[in-house]
Chain A
């Protein structure tokens, strides 16, 4: 187990270096730089600004300087939010995105899992068709449709919640639910599939034959096995959801990281974009690691090889 973890972390470090390198050169190969706006700056003034940030040094010089800084945990100053360092932006935005993401995930699991179980145990009956139809629609509806619809319904027609913002419990609900809905739908479908798969296995028949109550068979014996596809879906999904959602954060004016992902790329804010790519990748690796460990816990047959 220890060997497995060490091995995986070393691979993560190596892959992060590759990600850093690709991101670094990819960003700089796109036309336009961080200090190009609609108004063209006087070349001498632009040179002054570039000198400040060192963005006009030869690329290899920049590459090794930035790599050295990143290795020391210093992501550098943001070019577009000039009063802040990338570390400060992530420190302020990540807790917001992460808490929103966790709430959305809790909602998604809390809704998706029972619905999936219900659908599997009532296979071919109304609860199955009904819930799976809703789940398919839930997955197909884009966020930029669901969120405004929720706002129209629960802010204007039936004024239960505030329109936007973050910090009070009322403000948490709409964005968490809207963000969690497609995940809930996905989880419901995966749970159903996993459950159907497990329910046809021999050990379940044995459990039934022993005279266990159907409820106990499902919850104590089948569920663990049925969770495996859900867990492998949740790994990368968690990394994505924790780093923020562009659409939810924009529509509900939530000060998370989601908007930065898109804007830093559009505005050629090299340092901020790099910081976010690395953060996302780090989370993705860690979540995949967690998934592997959870597999071992859920299914004793799984061996973690290093």
Chain B
């Protein structure tokens, strides 16, 4: 006897087909935005305090505006929410005055309290702000974030909050004076637990109380955390629309930092009402930038619409902007060539040469504030010998490397700070000189490369890194007679190996955070987390320290130059080349400029519709 369902089987097929088609089409198409650009990835977050990447910066920079913003062409700090500011004579105190017409997207005015709240949230350990180190130039902010406490410090004790409380609400705060710390801070090592078993004895209203944040410690009141009293941190409201920031050292690039997107404000009412991440949902978010968030489709697009509450809305030309998440570089180029994207933020490496020739108006790579270099593990033999490191650097033909590897007009590098910072003269490493490289190697005990152990170049798995490493391998073999092995690792493993100094030579890229040499040179101070070369030189540390204290800008840059020149003699890293910009933009998009950080604020952009129509007609696009 046949089973009852058998007759139905042939019908399942068309039913499935129809259902799938309806399902797929139900997502629907959208009217195209005024401007569509490829952001090259799905952003990690749109919470300004939790991000540190360029794609995230493009979105957050459109949604939020800090005290200052950056000029789209020169990148000089220009007024944002603050209309003017004063700098004290010792260059340590900045007072920002907020404009009266700066509004949140819900129509409420932006006050100095909003910035106070935001800076505090940015620094609060529970926020987990990855970029909070940028703000450590502010007095006592590092102590606050990293919970560095000493006996006698005024502290804030955050009492336990209910288990179901939103993460954005803090427990009740008690202020007091730290009398005693029992126990040790947790050790810094891979895989260590966060359990901070310290007990803090705090005097509150004349009474001594004992607090701990660990559930595994008895004999003390359980609290969320004990932090330095935030009033000790150099962030102070000095009027309803005035906020004062005090720095540890005079920091000439402070305005560049304060204009950076992680320093944008968030609205306390919104954040506390919904908590993270729900406050970032389109239906909940309150922002203050030139654009509002209309919707987000994961891995598809983020749509931004012009804000009607933004104080400078008259200069904003584009009403809607789509940021596509497409990651495949060829796909991005296809979208561009078929007229579906007006601006792509990267192009396929294989097409670079061709595009530079055929579309020079659209793709014109320019040097950036970012560098490609090799870390050298100075704790391993024979790389601990400075003569060997210099020989390795001097034996390189960097011209050949940029022409065979990245091929987009990258500039060979002999310094770690890319050129283009006003008033700064880079400190250079010795240029290519094969004869001297050979004699340095001989001096170090390896004449003609004899006796030199095989060293290995480590890179993360990537076509370009491999071809560069192969070229360097052959240059060193040919010119120095040494044997070099290659090893590639998947990204996560690669980062872990580099951090643990489990390498001889490791490739790296670094993008400056602000237009100042310090953002590059500070990396090689012995205490910097990102040093990762084992290089620890008291002389270099002292030089950098001295530059941090110098008030006079010209003298300071001279000190930094000397430090770099010294670093380029020691060569814990071998600079290879400076990156170039990767953007490709249709000529009918105006208000997008070449600059050294590849930062392009959307508020400055516009589209010439007539020019676009002409352009599309000429290329046969619809």
Contacts and interface: CB of A to CB of B under 8 A. Distances in A.
Interface of A: 30-33, 36-45, 47-52, 56-58, 77, 80-84, 88-89, 92-93, 95-96, 98-100, 102-103, 105-106, 109-110, 148, 151, 155-156, 159, 162-169, 172, 250-253, 255-256, 259-260, 266-268, 294, 296-298, 300
Contact of B331 (A40, A43, A96, A250): A250
Interface string B187-221: 01001111000000000000000000000000000
A43 B191 CA distance: 11
15 contacts: A31-B493, A32-B493, A38-B495, A40-B499, A45-B130, A47-B186, A48-B129, A48-B145, A110-B13, A162-B340, A164-B340, A251-B328, A251-B330, A256-B299, A266-B490
Given A33-B492, A81-B45, 14 more contacts: A32-B492, A40-B532, A48-B128, A49-B130, A81-B298, A83-B281, A99-B20, A102-B23, A166-B24, A172-B25, A253-B335, A296-B3, A297-B3, A300-B2
A52 B491 contact: no
Interface stretch (B46-54, B408-416, B440-448): B46-54
B361 interface: no
A78 to B, nearest CB: 9
Nearest to B127: A48
Q: Across chains A and B, which 8 residue pairs bring their CB atoms closest together, nearest first?
A: A32-B492, A102-B20, A255-B300, A49-B128, A163-B334, A99-B24, A253-B326, A44-B146
B485 interface: no
Given A38-B509, A45-B132, A56-B194, A167 B25 contact: yes
B325 A255 contact: yes
Contacts of B28: 167
Contact of B280 (A32, A80, A83, A251): A83
A164 B326 contact: yes
B16 interface: yes
Given A163-B340, A253-B324, A148 B330 contact: yes
A45 B146 contact: yes
A96 B145 contact: no
Interface string B521-540: 00000000110100000000
Which range contains the number of B residues in contact with the other chain? 35 or more
A168 B31 CA distance: 12
B325 A82 contact: no
A107 B193 CA distance: 53
Interface of B: 1-3, 5-6, 9, 13, 16-17, 19-21, 23-25, 27-30, 42, 44-47, 50, 52, 125-130, 132-133, 145-147, 167, 186, 188, 191-194, 277, 280-281, 296-300, 324-328, 330-331, 334-335, 337-338, 340, 490-493, 495-497, 499, 508-509, 529-530, 532
A84 B276 CA distance: 10
B27 A96 contact: yes
B193 A57 contact: yes
B130 A51 contact: no
Contacts of A80: 44
Contact of A297 (B6, B132, B327): B6
B530 A40 contact: yes
A64 B145 CA distance: 30
A99 B128 contact: no
A113 to B, nearest CB: 9
A31 B326 CA distance: 28
Contacts of B532: 40
A251 B348 CA distance: 13
A203 B20 CA distance: 37
A77 B277 contact: yes
B3 A52 contact: no
A56 B195 CA distance: 9
Contacts of A167: 24-25, 27-30
B229 to A, nearest CB: 18
Contacts of A251: 328, 330-331
Contact of A266 (B2, B52, B492): B492
Contact of B128 (A40, A52, A57, A268): A52
A267 B52 CA distance: 16
A42 B146 contact: yes
Given A252-B331, A255-B300, A266 B491 contact: yes
B210 to A, nearest CB: 22
A250 B327 contact: yes
Contacts of B147: 44
Contacts of B130: 41, 45, 49
A100 B27 CA distance: 12
A82 B44 contact: yes
A155 B340 CA distance: 12
Contacts of A259: 299, 327
Contacts of A49: 128, 130
Contact of A32 (B30, B298, B299, B496): B496
Given A81-B44, A83-B46, A58 B193 contact: yes
Contacts of B335: 163-165, 253
Contacts of A33: 492
Contacts of A48: 125-129, 145
Contacts of A39: 52, 529-530
Nearest to A80: B44
A88 B21 CA distance: 23
A84 B127 contact: no
A92 B281 CA distance: 14
Given A45-B132, A169-B25, A109 B331 contact: no
Given A31-B496, A82-B45, A99 B23 contact: yes
Contact of A36 (B50, B300, B331, B495): B495
A47 to B, nearest CB: 5
Contacts of A267: 491-492
Contacts of A84: 277, 298
B194 A51 contact: yes
Given A31-B496, A83-B277, A99-B24, A162 B327 contact: no
A166 B27 CA distance: 8
B23 A95 contact: yes
Nearest to B193: A56
A297 B46 contact: no
B298 A103 contact: no
Contacts of B129: 45, 48
A45 B134 CA distance: 12
A150 to B, nearest CB: 12
B194 A45 contact: no
Contacts of A168: 25, 29
B493 A102 contact: no
Nearest to A223: B10
Contacts of A300: 1-3
Contacts of B1: 300
A31 B331 CA distance: 32
A265 B160 CA distance: 36
